[in-house]
Amino acid sequence: MRPRPSWGWQDAAACRGEDLVLFFGPDGERQPEREIRERKAKEICGACPVRTECLDYAISRPEKYGTWGGLNEDERASERRRRMRRANAA
């Protein structure tokens, strides 16, 4: 059983109060719109004081959708694999 997540870090998140569509996108979104939306979301994440906690949470779950800790789904999958390789090498 997975430990219950601590949500306290979310109180300090730069995205707090932002429209969730910015981070998760609407259904049927086309690639050009997605790129623009993700860039805006990542700009907010870039200045976030809890970016690391957010990314660690999303990778540990793993969250399948959205921008978390400044990374989209594909980027998080790559980061998850990188962390697993590093842990296995240790």
Q: Note the pLDDT tens digit of each residue in 47-85.
A: 999 999 999 999 998 899 999 999 999 999 999 999 999
Confidence of residue 3 (pLDDT cuts 50, 70, 90): low
70 annotated as ligand-binding = no
Q: Note the pLDDT tens digit of each residue in 6-48.
A: 778 899 999 999 999 999 999 999 999 999 999 999 999 999 9
48 annotated as ligand-binding = yes
- The CA distance from 10 to 32, in Å, is 29
- The CA distance from 10 to 3, in Å, is 17
63 annotated as ligand-binding = no
| pLDDT at residue 9, as a whole number | 86
Torsion of CA 7, 9, 13, 17, to 10 degrees: 30
81 annotated as ligand-binding = no
**The model's pTM:** 0.86
Domain boundaries, the chain: 20-89
Instruction: Locate 89 and state its tokens.
Output: 């090498």
Cβ atoms 67, 45 nearer than 8 A: yes
Cβ atoms 38, 68 nearer than 8 A: no
| pLDDT at residue 1, as a whole number | 56
